């Protein structure tokens, strides 16, 4: 057996300890990935019909991690704008006051089988005013990469904790939409986790949002939030 010098012993020991610490840290990140996105993520915010004389001002607000839910919110806004509504689209953390809105549409990406926490907190914080105006919910998730009633029911169940926590708010409609899987918009650790998870589920990378479905839902929402008379104005 080769004799190990004192210096070699401490050098190898340091490397092994460093490797173990790195492994533990990586393991913790795999179990509890940090909420961090890669660079270049954009979140849609805009307004329309600001000069139109109307009493139908609507807020479309959303919570997102990689921006794809904002794309859905922006499409909803476009349909409402075409129906002569005054609409603001805002990231949920940037909404400061709901007093000027006559209807509110709230959406969120799904993480760990539920709405993002800031979306839930928004509803809970504003529950009083949200019971006095028409409200709609929507979500985006990769569960809806698959079609069929089984997956629709599974996606709808992601909202059950919210509906049970704030039962006094009765949404006029709930939109369920497929999301986007874009590894470039994830942090390194999140990418590792998601690749393993999605491979197991059989979900490839890609944009699975059905824009025709989102537009149809938004048009139905117009009738419930604005009404036929104002749509024709």
Report pLDDT digits (tens) over 104-120.
999 999 999 999 999 99
Strand, coil or helix: 166? coil
- Within 10 angstroms of residue 27's Cβ, the number of other Cβ atoms is 10
Query: Is a pLDDT exceeding 80 seen at residue 3?
Result: no
| 227 vs 61: which has the higher pLDDT | 61
Report pLDDT digits (tens) over 116-170.
999 999 999 999 999 999 999 999 999 999 999 999 999 999 999 999 999 999 9
**Domains of the chain in sequence order:** 46-232 (3.40.50.360)
Strand, coil or helix: 140? strand
- Within 10 angstroms of residue 192's Cβ, the number of other Cβ atoms is 16
Report pLDDT digits (tens) over 29-50.
233 333 344 445 678 788 887 7
| 28 vs 65: which has the higher pLDDT | 65
Query: What confidence score (pLDDT) does residue 16 get?
Result: 39
State how far the alpha carbon of 173 is from the alpha carbons of 105, 137, 138, 183, in Å: 9, 7, 8, 31
Judge whether 133 and 103 are in contact, CB under 8 Å: yes
Query: What confidence score (pLDDT) does residue 93 get?
Result: 95
- Within 10 angstroms of residue 124's Cβ, the number of other Cβ atoms is 13
């Amino acid at each position: 057996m080769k004799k190990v010098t004192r210096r070699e012993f401490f050098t190898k020991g340091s490397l092994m300890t460093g490797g173990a610490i790195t492994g533990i840290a990586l393991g913790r990140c795999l179990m509890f990935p940090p909420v961090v996105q890669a660079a270049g993520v954009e979140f849609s915010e805009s307004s329309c019909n600001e000069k139109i004389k109307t009493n139908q001002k609507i807020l479309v607000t959303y919570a997102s991690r990689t921006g794809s839910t904002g794309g859905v919110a922006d499409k909803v806004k476009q349909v409402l704008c075409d129906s002569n509504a005054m609409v603001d689209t805002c990231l949920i953390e940037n909404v400061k006051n709901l007093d000027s809105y006559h209807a509110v549409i709230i959406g969120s990406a799904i993480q760990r089988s539920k709405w993002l926490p800031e979306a839930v907190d928004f509803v809970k914080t504003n529950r009083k005013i949200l019971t006095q105006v028409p409200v709609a919910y929507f979500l985006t998730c990769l569960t809806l990469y698959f079609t069929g009633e089984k997956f629709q029911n599974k996606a709808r169940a992601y909202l059950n904790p919210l509906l049970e926590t704030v039962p006094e708010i009765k949404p006029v409609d709930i939109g369920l939409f497929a999301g986007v899987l874009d590894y470039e918009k994830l942090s390194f650790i999140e990418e590792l986790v998601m690749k393993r998870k999605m491979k197991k589920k059989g979900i490839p990378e890609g944009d699975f949002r059905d824009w025709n479905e989102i537009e149809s839902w938004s048009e139905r929402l117009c009738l419930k939030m604005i009404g036929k008379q104002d749509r024709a104005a």
